[in-house]
Structure 1
Amino acid sequence: MSSIVYVGGQKGGTTKTTTSHLMCLGAILRKQPAAYVLTDPHRRVKADGRPYGVLDGRDGNVLAQIITASQSTKNGWLIVDGGGNRPAFDQAMAEQAHLTILPFRASEEDLEAVARDLETMPDSIALPSAWSTNKHAQEAAQRLIDALKQAFPGRVIDRPVWFVNSTAELLGASLESPSTTVRNAARHTFDILISSFSLHAAKRAEDESSTVGAA
């Protein structure tokens, strides 16, 4: 069965699409199969010239078929890009996914938005994304992560996804020969995913075991 990861959140511009593509490319670079699923009706599918699969899930029935088909896949990653401003869709997908990731940028507005999403999707985790590589900016931004971790312990990823200058390359019509910058960012993002997925699975198993024991 494929590991289904939903990259969502109500606020637009939090790098959901960039993060999703980085995860897919990172999986391929780590020699693991992956597919990207587009669900935003305002975007178009760019499937050619990519080392990972690109699936069109903009139609709800087709998306359901993609998720069902993933259950018969023996391994790999299905990364579903949620788009923005669709809270009902976010919650529906969070129930289907094995892990829901909510990217957020270093701003008070993003912090408020991701906090609301963490409340409405209790099994989701937040990911600092497009983080500055400037040390002074990082120190200021770290306070945002710390505040969110205090409010939602165990549900905020410590390792940020750094700002990628080559976003236009990553989201272009073709990605046959990614630059070193993009490849490094993809590996880093996928490593964060692997670590977070393992921790989340362990926590879920522990919670289920506690529930059974209490019963």
Structure 2
Amino acid sequence: MAQIVCVLGNKGGTGKTTLSHMIAHGMGLLGKRVVCVLTDIERERLAKEGRRYLPFDARSHDNLSRVVTTLNEVDDWFGVIDGGGNRSDMDSQLANLADMVLLPFRDSHEDIRTVLRDLEWLPAAWAVPSQWPTNAWARKAADASVQSLMDRYRHRILDPVPVMASSKLLLQDRIPARLPPQLNSMCRALAMQVFESLGVEFESVPDDSALPDEAGGSPARKAPPMRRIG
């Protein structure tokens, strides 16, 4: 059967949808077959043209049941389910379907308090620092907050995903024919981290950030590095 990754969390605005599409895009770049499943009723369905993964609208119960049944019957596919905020009952159902649960949170004490409750509630879930600051001072302050407030969960925190304005391109109905190399590199790194946690084998491919940019000039600026907190 397919392996399912659910991106959940009780708080809204933590970047669940962005993270879901980044993971799905990264898996596609690594040659995997992926469906990104929309369950958040506040979001609109997206076109599949130009994507390396299949977006699927499962905002209705029937469609969600259908895609989960299909994923349970196929091999060599991955499902990334984008959850919505403030839906504890739905999150509980989705978590029971998942091979891996991710809980994104941003660099605020409110987000950290919420993700701590979610980590307690979902003992197999991983926390993901999302839209993490890249400014050195702000990054140091954000990391310090995580270290002081989440130290006992350090073994369940994945590498931070730095803020990247171009990630919004993945949420457009129709994405550009070519995406920025640094975005591709970040999505690939994120997908590799998920695969490593799932124990899934994958083939390493060249880093897009070392390739010429779209204008054929110098190599693109490298994506901000992902590294562990602490």
The bucket for the TM-score relative to the shorter chain is: 0.7 to 0.9
Q: Partner of 1:55: helix, strand, or coil?
A: strand
Percent identity over the alignment is: 34
Displacement of 1:145 in angstroms is: 2.6
SS at match of 2:131: coil
Q: Is the 8 A contact 1:91 1:120 kept in 2?
A: no
Q: Secondary structure at the match of 1:58?
A: coil
Moved over 4 A (4+): none
Rounded to whole Å, the distance in 1 between the matches of 2:127 and 2:11 is 13
Of 113-122 and 5-14, more deviation after overlay is shown by: 113-122
Distance in 2 between residues matched to 1:37 and 1:75, nearest whole Å = 17
Where in structure 1 are there 5+ consecutive unaligned residues?
Answer: 200-215
Secondary structure of the residue aligned to 2:22 is: helix
Distance in 2 between residues matched to 1:54 and 1:170, nearest whole Å = 11
Q: For the residues of structure 2 that align with 1:73 and 1:148, how far apart are their CA atoms?
A: 41
The answer to whether the aligner puts 1:81 opposite 2:82 as a matched pair is yes
Deviation at 1:153, TM superposition (A): 4.8
Alignment of 1:64-213 (within 5 A): 64-157=65-158, 159-175=159-175, 176-198=177-199
Q: Secondary structure of 2:74's match? A: coil
Query: Contact between 1:127 and 1:160, CA under 8 Å: does it hold in 2?
Result: yes
How far off its partner does 1:109 sit? Answer: 0.8
| Larger RCO (CA under 8 A, 6+ residues apart) | 1
Query: What secondary structure, in the 3-state scheme, does the structure 1 residue paired with 2:143 have?
Result: helix
Paired with 1:55 and 1:148, the residues of 2 have a C-alpha distance of: 37
Q: Distance in 1 between matches of 2:21 and 2:125?
A: 19
Give SS of 1:193's match.
helix
Q: 1:161, 1:45 → 2: CA distance?
A: 24
Task: Rate the CA distance shift 1:42–1:67 in 2: closer, same or farther, 3 A.
Answer: same
Equivalence for 2:29: 29
The TM-score with structure 2 as length reference comes to 0.81
Report the structure, 1 or 2, having the larger helix content.
1
Aligned to 2:15: 15
Residue 150 of structure 1: CA displacement? 2.1
What secondary structure sits across from 1:129 in the alignment? strand
2:133–2:162 contact (8 Å) kept in structure 1: yes
Q: Taking structure 1 as the reference length, what is the TM-score of the superposition?
A: 0.86
**Deviations, residues 111-155 of structure 1 (Å, cap 9, x unaligned):** 001011111112211011111112221111112332354232522
User: In the alignment, residue 97 of structure 2 is paired with which amino acid?
Assistant: Q
Q: CA RMSD in A?
A: 1.6
CA contact (8 A) 1:38 1:80 kept: yes
- Aligned residue pair count: 198
| Separation (CA, whole Å) in 1 of partners of 2:102 and 2:148 | 18
Q: List gaps (5 residues or longer) in structure 2.
A: 201-230
Conserved? CA contact 1:125–1:155, under 8 Å: yes
- 2:75 and 2:15 map into 1 onto residues whose CA distance is 29
Partner of 2:46: 46
